[in-house]
Amino acid sequence: MRLDTPPRETVIRRFLDQAGWGAARRQPMGADWSARRYERLTLNGATAILMDCRDEVAASQVPPFVQIAGLLRDCALSAPLILAGDEPQGLLLIEDFGGDDYARLLDSGEEPWQPLYEVATDVLVTLHQRFVPASAPDLSRYDVGLFRDQVMLFADAFAPVVRGRVLPAGAWDELAEAWEGVLPAALSLPPTLLLRDYHPGNLMRLKGRAGVAACGLLDFQDGGIGPRAYDLVSLLEDARRDVPEELRQAMTLRYLAAFPGIHQGAFRASAAILGAVRHARILGRVAQLIQATTGAPQLSFLPRVWGQFTGAIRHPALLPIAHWVERHLPANLDADTIVRSF
């Protein structure tokens, strides 16, 4: 089924008319790394956000977005209310959380970093204390196979470019086997609801709400059941900004203090492995975007994410990955060399 037949604008106008927002003023808000587009609607002093998922892949993420939003609200967390939806057409009308996303607040210097990160960390504590995985048996499972499949984008898209040639025979399988060997340690702790893209660009400061409810949550449609360290790593090892080491350590200890039964060594090993997975996947995905789009702005992320990846694989649990990198990628690969490769 093609989602642009009839014309997409006709589908949207019909949806807004049925939802009672047909007369709203529409303001484009841009897009993310997918086929999703967003508009802010204004009608009689009220606002709402139109989420427009324009292809079948993006539209398939609408039902999990609705489901996970409900699970988050059940945990007394602030996910957008769903005001109207046409899931087959990939359209949602959701609550407007305003414009105070954490990324803007951090980058502008408008707010000190520590209080924002404390609330964001406390959101994960609350979620992991309250969510019961058995309550969502149909969500995706982030297991060894899924993580391995995602992380191999590193070998497909990033490694050949920085090498200047294709990988030698057997190298791809060697890396896949290495990940299969290290990933079980990342999944050794009890699982929880994993939001996947938990970073300042998807967190909103909500005025008039207190505690963890003051942090609005967005872009969780790729969530599922998975390891608890993943979202904390996503928050503290950000592709878009350098989080000070002392703040990263303080938030890790803040999280662990809420779970005295968790073995700290196991948690830190899991975090290192999941950080390496996330960074490798981002390197691969950004490499894809750069090759597909001239002047892709994500090029600026590569040096930072490469540094995060190489830092993560220093952990003893990732020795097989470090050995693969030593054998198959150029020695002393630095930020300038990476940027020039693209």
Please tell me whether residues 72 and 128 are part of one structural domain: no
Residue 2 placed within a domain? no
Q: For the chain, what is the radius of gyration of the CA atoms? A: 21
What pTM value is reported for the model?
0.94
Residues 114 and 163 in one domain: yes
Domain that holds residue 260: 102-341
- Is there a single domain that holds both residue 111 and residue 237? yes
Residue 22's CATH number? 3.30.200.20
Is 69 within a domain?
A: yes
- Each residue of 151-184: pLDDT tens digit? 999 999 999 999 999 999 999 999 999 999 999 9
H or E element: which one contains 63?
Answer: helix 62-74
HEC string of 253-298? HHHHHCCCCCCHHHHHHHHHHHHHHHHHHHHHHHHHHHHHCCCCHH
Answer yes or no: is 323 within a domain: yes
Q: What is the domain-level CATH number for residue 218?
A: 3.90.1200.10
Whether residues 220 and 170 share a domain: the answer is yes
Write down which residue in 38, 69, 95 finishes a domain. Answer: 95
**Number of domains within the chain:** 2
Q: Are residues 191 and 66 in the same domain?
A: no
Are residues 82 and 195 both part of a single domain?
A: no
**Domain C-terminal end among 54, 76, 95:** 95
pLDDT digits (tens, 9 = 90+) for 58-85: 889 999 999 999 999 999 999 999 999 9
Domain match, 284 and 204 both: yes
Classify each residue of 239-253 as buried b or exposed e, where b means 16 or more C-beta atoms within 10 Å of its C-beta: beeebeeeebebbbe
Same domain, 83 and 165: no
Q: 289 and 174, same structural domain?
A: yes
pLDDT value at 33 more than 90: no
Q: Do 55 and 188 belong to one domain?
A: no
Residue 38 lies in a domain: yes
Helix (H, G, I), strand (E, B) or coil at 212: helix
Question: Is residue 269 one of the residues assigned to a domain?
Answer: yes
Per DSSP, what are the bridge partners of residue 37? 31, 52
Is 90 part of any domain? yes
- Measured in residues, the chain has a length of 342
Residue 1 domain flag: no
| Inside any domain, residue 222 | yes
Cα distances (Å, whole numbers) of residue 281 to 35, 84, 114, 155, 161: 19, 33, 28, 9, 15
Collapsing DSSP states into helix, strand and coil, what is residue 114?
helix
**Mean of pLDDT values over 135-156:** 96
- Determine what percent of the chain is predicted with pLDDT higher than 90: 86
Which one of 73, 95, 117 terminates a domain? Answer: 95
Do 85 and 147 lie in one domain? The reply is: no
Give the chain's mean pLDDT: 94
Both 74 and 211 in one domain: the answer is no
